[in-house]
Each structure stands twice: as structure tokens, then as C-alpha cells.
Amino acid sequence: MYTINRIASIVDASSVLANKEAAIEYLITDSRKVTFAASSLFFTLKTEHRNALVFLDDLYQQGVRNFVVQEEIDFSKYKDANFLVVKNSLKALQKLAQFHRLQFHYPVMGITGSNGKTIVKEWLNFLLSDSYKIVRSPRSYNSQIGVPLSIWQMNAENDLGIFEAGISERNEMDALRKIIQPTIGILTNIGDAHDKGFESRKQKLQEKLRLFQHSKIVFANADDENIKASIGEVLNTDIFSFGKNKNATLHITAVKKEQNKTVIEGVFENNTLHITIPFLDEASVQNALICWAVALYFKVSESVIMEKMAQLPAIDMRLQVLPAINGCTVINDSYSLDIDSLSVGLDLLNQQLLSKTVILSDVHEAEERTYIQILDILHHKKISRLIAIGKFWESLKPFMGSKIPIIETYNSTFDFVQQFHAGQFKNESILLKGARLFRFEDILNLLVEKVHQTRLEINLSNIVHNFKTYKKRLQPSTKMMAMVKAFAYGSGSVEIASILQYHKIDYLAVAYADEGVELRNAGINLPIMVMNIDEYGFEAMLQHNLEPEIYSFKILKEFTVFVQKQAVAQYPVHLKLDTGMHRLGFEEGEIDRLMDELKVNKSLVIKSVFSHLSSSEDAADDNFTILQAEIFRRCCDKIQNVVHYNFIRHLANSAGIARHPDLQFDMVRLGIGLYGVDTTDKGLALKNVATLKSTIAQIKHLQPNETVGYNRMGKISQPTTTATIRIGYADGYSRKLSNGVGFVLINNHQAPVIGNVCMDMTMVDITHIDNVNEGDEVEVFGVDLPVENIAKWSDTNVYEIFTSVGQRVKRVYVEE
């Protein structure tokens, strides 16, 4: 246990201390992840784009009293708080973790490499957890911030540490080495990931190996010439090598792929050994070899290795957010249960706006203390209902107190399933988290709505990535409005708005009042601009605090009259200017009259003035864009001359942000880029957000002269195998894709459309693809088949493809 005073001296801080003896248990860098405010120390990290100081008031309100800051601030504002002032908060965090690490003398593994770090860490935990009390990095906490937070979890009760280290640039590894100080080094696969920050693969490899400079032993692949050469150059530690190379410490002599498993034979210390793993892919085989080598080094018995290897779990670090019965959503995180991963699941639950329910199982081999700690965490996270399943929970029931409003216990998953009825759950977010033994998939099946087999998978983490990518291109003071009109370009407006609200976007915009009402009903409290208003929506606008776009004298008059009738003053509105798009808006020649009217209008206040670029993505029209901007600027100046308060000016859409950095004004409006499509040639490295998937309903074998589909448009000239997939033009799969124009991906092979696309189904040619079965999954667009292709083949743009995905196609949300 550290006092704040002790930490001040460890990190060399000058300090302003109200309470020197304050005990610190938790370190936080993210203001949204406070659980135990009183015993938390917040590090205000400063990045190029934001200074965490802005969260201070909020944190103080939440009860946080201990802060590390990088600059002098007005400390008197926060009486009874402790401040440590340092040169660099991140360095201070790392220094503290480094100090903490030195308190422990048990073995610590450091894992680095390009791919597989998290899987190898989780599998090692799985293989060794019967013999050791392991502390390990939560999820993929492997960055300059994640590593110190992981190390902070070490304590005297553990006897083995397993930590990941990830780097994306040169010279980052030394800091991580000093914090982890691995006694055992593990190098996973070296691929091409994160190549950007490095001159060559070799340089990258050498940088990674710096993690192991003071390790006693390093595990590495014997079949990679680069690795062999670099290790010799950089390290002089013992090497435990594995691979087909005859000189490898663990010499692999055979790898046999069977129906759904791989059998691997190897020779270690002159004994021939076998393992079987429940995977077929090469990456899993490589990762299993590493774990096998480590298990042998730790002298795990042959029978335990064999038994555990056969049960290696699939590690999917993505949390799925699924639509469920009666307006509920389920966050499915039933891969494992321990306190660290529980916190990660709870953080995601906190982003949901419905009332919060947690379903938990007993924790493998935990003592009563752990259960009390869990109850405490749930209480602090304001969980409204706990459903606790397992004998241990049941036995604790009389002692649980009333910290959580509703607690229900069940002896077993079976009991829960027996007593389940759908009416028990309504409009709540449910986190489902159980140890594997408890088979929570049975509960999942009861809660989750049966998904029509065609679904649109939305990756929320990638939405955040894209948001940040654009944010980085803005001046720090420039605000951002996200366009969540048209069901957020088909992705689901409530879900997208929730995640953006969590990440503190400034503004949202929708097309119609109804869309805004839906967001308000779901608990979104950001300001919302409504672009297309008419008198029928006024009532709803005022009732839900939605801000209209005023684009004509007619609508100005009507809205003013309505607002006056309600006796409301200074209602915020947005003036839309027509600078050349000629869709909606006031033209330059109308500004004088507009301001004459607004000058005397006490009912409305101009929140922003904006216009829309017609061709921001198109270099050929750059002169026109510049002209639009000039008109916009002139109009804004005119307006500013009349009103004596500030309003927000905004012009640029996604392509405008990318191509015209000088046109950011006070705010930008991000649309298509958020959803992963860059319509410019700026190479923004956005991540794919939407993946449309379907399944195969039937497979047929056809002979020459037979035909496929309506009007017999699919002509068969040689023996052909077709698959009928569950998607048609009613789902948004355009009829223009008929007759070989479009293709889908099956087992990552192209399967062209054969015949005409039908309303609910489409036939594709799979003659050339092996191992296809009815029920198999089909990718219609996504990472491997960019939506731009579908747009091109369908003779339209990606906007239309996204917004045409039918409402009956279920949206499924994933988070990494």
C-alpha cells in the first residue's frame, strides 16, 4: 500500500498535499473509468490533441482527490485534494510502475512480437494457472500507458507475471523493458503490422528484442532466419528455440491437420511428444508451439500439457453487443471471469444508456474476499441488478447487504434456465460474464433475439478509431459534429450516438425531428441539430431540446411564431447558407434582410452558421470550393457585424476535413469518414466499420442447359455448383448486381452472382470453391470486399449502399 506522500517521493514530484496519508490503490488515466474514487490517483496525461486537465472538475465531483499534473493550476479550487506536480505525467506513471515492479522477485514473462501477443498470454495463463497464481495484462494492455497500469496489479500473493509489450515506433521498447523487467522473454510471430514507424523489418525486430536485454531465457522461433541472426546480434541470453529446424530445443517433426484439429509431434530432450489443438489455422499452430515450449520449460507434466492443449479456448477479445428481447441489449463476455476482465466489461456496460444488469457466475477458485470486492465494484458502477449464479454466490446471499438494489441468486445455470421467462428482462443492458464451466451460452441463447441470418456487423471500436483519425487533423480548438442522419448511415443512430457521446464529441446532426426524438428517448444529451424541419415537428423539437436548421424566411417566420407562443426566449437555431449547392439555405443577397429580421427577434439565438460544400472531394472543382468558402466567410462576417455574441461557423464535411485543412472554421461535420470510407485520395487509413454478412440456404449441382432464377437469366454451360444465399434486393442487395456483375466472398473466394438477384435471395457460383456447406457464412461487403466495389458495380455511391441495407437486417455491434 502506498501513501500519496510516498508516491510523491518515488516520482520526484513537487507536491501540494492536503492529506499526506491518503492511501492509493488504483491508478487511472481515463476519467470515465473511475470505480473507487477515494483511493484512486489520476494521471492527467497531455497529448497533442487534448489535455486531461479538462476532466479535473468532473473527477473532483466524482470524489477523486489525488492528481498528478504537469502544470501549476489554481489548486485552491480543489480544497482537500492532493496534487503532485511533475514534468511529464506519463513518465511519472512509468516510474511509479517501475518502482512497484522492483518489489517482487517472482518470474515475470514479457511477450512481444507483431501478432498473437494476447492469445499467447491468455493461453499461457490457461496452461499454467493450476500451478501458479498469475497476474497478467488485462485484455491487450500493452502500450506505454497500458503496461504500467498492468504492472501496478502485481502483488505479493502472485508468483508469476505475464505481460505484453507492444510498440509502434522506434525507441519505445526501452521504457517498457524498464517497467516489465522480464526474466523470461517470449517473441511471438513477427509480421508486417506497424511497419510504419520502422525503416525495415530487421530494425523492427531488433527494437522488439530490446525487451529481453536482461532476461534469463528467451523463447523464439527457430525457423525464421531473421530472428536467428538478430538474436545473436542483440542478445546474449539463453535461447529456447522451437520449430522444424533440427537444432531447435523443441524440434517439431510433424504437423498433421485433421477434420477440426491439428496434431503436432515434437522431440524435446530426446523424447518424442505429441499435442493436439482444436484449431487448424497456421497462426494458432505457431502460437501453440510457443506455449508448448514454455510449458515444457516450466516442467508441466506431459499429461497436463496434452489435456490442456486439447482444450485451448478460442480467444476473441472482442466484446459483442447484441440486440436482445424486450428492448434489452446483451454484452456477451463469457470467455472468462476474473476481476480485471470484469472491469473492462463494466466499462462497456457503462457506455450503454439503459438500466444496468450484470449476470455473473462463481469465480474459479476465488475466496470470499474476491466476491466482496466484486460487490463493491458493482455498487460503485451503479449496477441496478445482479443475477449471481453458482453455489458460492448462493451461500453468500444472506451476507450481501443492500448495496445493489436487486440481487437474485441461482444455484446453477440450469436452475436459471429452468426458471427463466422473458418478462424478467425489459429495456436494460445486460452484461453476461461467466467462467467457462458455467456454460453461459445457454443464457445468451435465451436473451438474444433470433437473428435473421443476414446481419450488418458494426465495429464500434473502429468508429472510435475513425473519429480520432479525423480529430487529429483538426486544430485543437475545432469542434466536431457527427452526422448520424439516416439511422447513422445505416449503422444504427442510438448506438453510434452513445459511443460518440462517451468519447465527448461536441455535436450531433440528424435529418428529421423524429430521428432526434429517438436519440433523446435513448438518453443522448448532446446538442442535436435537425436539418430538415417543418411545422409538424416544432412541438417535438421544443419538447426534446432539438435545434433546428433555419434555411428560409418561411421557416424562420413559422418557427419564431411557434416559439413565441410557447413564451420561450433565445431558442438556439442554426442558419443554413446556400453558397452554391443550391439545395437549402439563404443566399448571399438575402443576408441583409435576414439580419434585419433577426436583429429584433428575441425568441431565437444563432448557435451556428453553416453551409455545405458540393464537391469537396473533387480536385477538379477546387476553385468552386474556394469560391463557396469565400462567400461563406463574407456572409458570416456580415452576420457577426449585427449580432454581438459568438456563433459557431462550419463548412467542411468528411472530404472537406481531409482535403481542405484551411476550411475548418470553428467546427466540422463528419459523416461518411466516421463509417470508414475515405472518399478522397488522402490515405487516411480509416478502419472498416460495417460488414454485411449472410448465410447459405441451399447448395445445388446443375448440368449444362439448365438455367438459374427468374427469366432463366443464369445459363449453365458446364457442370456448376450454386449456393443460394439469404439476401436479396429487399435487403439492399441491388438487382444491378445480377448476372456476374457482383460477387460475394465465401471462404475468402469470390463467388459471382448467377442469374437475377431475387427479392430475398441470390444465387452465386461456387463451382471453384472447396469445402462449402449449407449454413456457411458469406461476406457481402466488409474488410475483405470493400463496400466501394459494391457501389461501383451497382452504379451508385457508398452512401446509397449503406443507407439501403434493409431495416430487417439485424445490426450487431462488436467492440474490441
Ligand X SMILES: *Cc1c(COP(=O)(O)O)cnc(C)c1O
Residue positions forming the annotated binding site for substrate: 583, 759
Nearer to ligand X (CB atom), residue 218 or residue 672: 672
Q: Which of 95, 208, 485, 607 is catalytic?
A: 485
The least distance separating ligand X from the CB of residue 109, rounded to whole angstroms, comes to 46
CA separation for the pair 248, 226 (Å, rounded): 15
Nearer to ligand X (CB atom), residue 179 or residue 508: 508
The least distance separating ligand X from the CB of residue 501, rounded to whole angstroms, comes to 19
Q: Which of these, 716, 692, 693, lies nearest to 703 by C-alpha position?
A: 716
The least distance separating ligand X from the CB of residue 668, rounded to whole angstroms, comes to 9
User: In the complex, which residues of this chain contact ligand X (CB under 6 A)?
Assistant: 483, 612, 653-655, 669-673
Q: Which of these, 545, 559, 575, lies nearest to 649 by C-alpha position?
A: 575
Is 710 considered catalytic here?
Answer: yes
Nearer to ligand X (CB atom), residue 581 or residue 730: 581
Query: Which residues are paired to 575 by β-bridges?
Result: 550, 609
Number of residue whose CB is nearest ligand X: 671
CA separation for the pair 23, 437 (Å, rounded): 37
The DSSP code sequence of 272-322 is: EEEEEES--SHHHHHHHHHHHHHHHHTT--HHHHHHHHTTPPP---PEEEE
The least distance separating ligand X from the CB of residue 581, rounded to whole angstroms, comes to 9
Nearer to ligand X (CB atom), residue 480 or residue 499: 480
- Measuring CA to CA, how many Å separate 98 from each of 102, 112, 167, 388, 630? 7, 18, 18, 38, 55
Q: Which of these, 336, 334, 222, lies nearest to 286 by C-alpha position?
A: 222
CA separation for the pair 600, 642 (Å, rounded): 11
CA separation for the pair 725, 455 (Å, rounded): 12
CA separation for the pair 694, 454 (Å, rounded): 4
Q: How many CB atoms lie within 10 A of CB 708?
A: 22
The residues, ordered by sequence, that sit 6+ positions from 542 with a Cβ below 8 Å of its Cβ are 562, 563, 566, 568, 571
The least distance separating ligand X from the CB of residue 812, rounded to whole angstroms, comes to 23
The residues, ordered by sequence, that sit 6+ positions from 91 with a Cβ below 8 Å of its Cβ are none
Nearer to ligand X (CB atom), residue 371 or residue 512: 512
Angle at the Cα of 98 (from 96 to 99), degrees rounded to 5? 65
CA separation for the pair 664, 649 (Å, rounded): 9
Nearer to ligand X (CB atom), residue 63 or residue 661: 661
The least distance separating ligand X from the CB of residue 36, rounded to whole angstroms, comes to 41
Q: Which residues are annotated as a binding site?
A: 583, 759
The least distance separating ligand X from the CB of residue 612, rounded to whole angstroms, comes to 4
Nearer to ligand X (CB atom), residue 631 or residue 642: 631
CA dihedral for 71, 75, 77, 78, sign (positive or negative): positive
The least distance separating ligand X from the CB of residue 471, rounded to whole angstroms, comes to 14
Nearer to ligand X (CB atom), residue 362 or residue 617: 617
The DSSP code sequence of 542-562 is: HHTT-EEEE-SHHHHHHHHHH
CA separation for the pair 692, 458 (Å, rounded): 9
C-alpha cell, 129: 494457472
Q: Which of 382, 468, 554, 710 is catalytic?
A: 710
SS3 514: helix
What residues act catalytically? 485, 710
